[in-house]
Amino acid sequence: MTELFGQVNKLDPNKGLVILRMSDDDLRTLQKYHTTNQQQVLSVMASDDNEPTPKQRRFAFALLNDIWLSQVGGAWLETVESTRRHFYGTYEYYHGLDFGEFSLSAVKGNKSDTNEFINMLLDYAALHDIALSVKPLNELEPQEIAHWEYQCLMNKCCVICGKRPSDLHHLDGSRVGIGSDRKNVNHLGRKAVQLCREHHQMFHSDENMFMKKFHINGIAINDEIARVHRLNTK
């Protein structure tokens, strides 16, 4: 059995119809099973808006495991469990929570805190160049994607896979030329994302396919991003 996730877009009780929005990867998995021509049986589990979703929890634990595997940090990296306790404690300290108050469990945790906890783990991974086993854009809540895109620009890691080296890439009408054109143009307000060489080449090979697959929005360049990338702002 394979666990898939979807967000309900439309519900019609009279027709018994449910329309789901699913990630490209989960949709391809479902299509793979469907092509066998065997009868499909799906188990649907509704998630309360106030509790962490299975997808959130799975992503958070994958990030904790990636950080532990990297061994970038202190003595708290001894085990996956000690790594988890360290970041739980860090989150509780900076958010004014009592010891043991934060949890990823469906019983004790909540969705908004879990999103912020995931952002904290992603910030740590971006800052310390930690390889990620799961692509963030496939796992993040829509409202959290902008935070990841911004951190990738600030830390110069690919928004798709987190790899370095990577380059700032202008999107759509925000694109500029190379050489003197790039140096002389005012970059403030132009939308950009950070892409490694592999995904940069993929973008230029088929832009429409790339944007449809990864659903990146881009971040308007501000003074901080311009300073990190030494971009002209006049």
In a domain, 180, yes or no: yes
Q: Cβ distance 74 to 85 under 8 Å? A: no
Give the Cα separation of 30 and 22 in Å (integer): 10
Q: Which residue has the tokens 């895109």?
A: 149
Q: Are residues 33 and 9 in the same domain?
A: yes
Residues 11 and 67 in one domain: no
Predicted TM-score of the model (pTM)? 0.72
Structural domains counted in the chain:
3
Share of the chain above pLDDT 90, in %: 55
Q: DSSP letter for 144, please.
A: G
Three-state SS for 169? strand
Task: State whether 59 and 124 are in the same domain.
Answer: yes
Distance CA 102, CA 139 (A): 21
Place of tokens 């060489």: 197
Residue 226: both structure tokens together: 């311009």
**Domain membership flag for residue 147:** no
- Shared domain check, 164 and 130: no
Both tokens of residue 172? Answer: 């759509």
Residue 205 lies in a domain: yes
List the single range of 64-68, 171-175, 216-220 with lowest mean pLDDT: 171-175
Domain assignment present for residue 146? The answer is no
**Structural domain containing residue 30:** 1-46
Shared domain check, 82 and 116: yes
- Mean pLDDT over 201-217 rounds to 88
127 and 163 assigned to the same domain: no
What is each CA distance from 62 to 40, 68, 132, 200, in whole angstroms?
Answer: 29, 10, 8, 26
In a domain, residue 173? The reply is: yes
Q: Which of 187, 194, 198 is nearest to 220 (CA)?
A: 187
pLDDT at 12: 75
| Terminal-residue alpha carbon distance, the chain | 57
Q: Could you give the C-alpha distances from 52 to 8, 42, 75, 95, 178, in angstroms and in order?
A: 16, 21, 29, 18, 45
pLDDT in tens, 120-177: 999 999 999 999 999 999 999 888 899 999 999 999 999 999 999 999 999 865 556 5
How much is the pLDDT for 180? 41
DSSP state, residue 106: T
Q: Which pLDDT does position 181 carry in this prediction?
A: 59
Give the least confident one: 24-33, 80-89, 140-149, 164-173: 24-33
The verdict on 67 and 119 lying in the same domain is yes
- Residue 179 has what pLDDT? 47
Mean pLDDT (the chain) is 85
The greatest distance separating any two alpha carbons of the chain, rounded to the nearest whole angstrom, comes to 62
Q: How far apart are CA 108 and CA 98, in angstroms?
A: 14
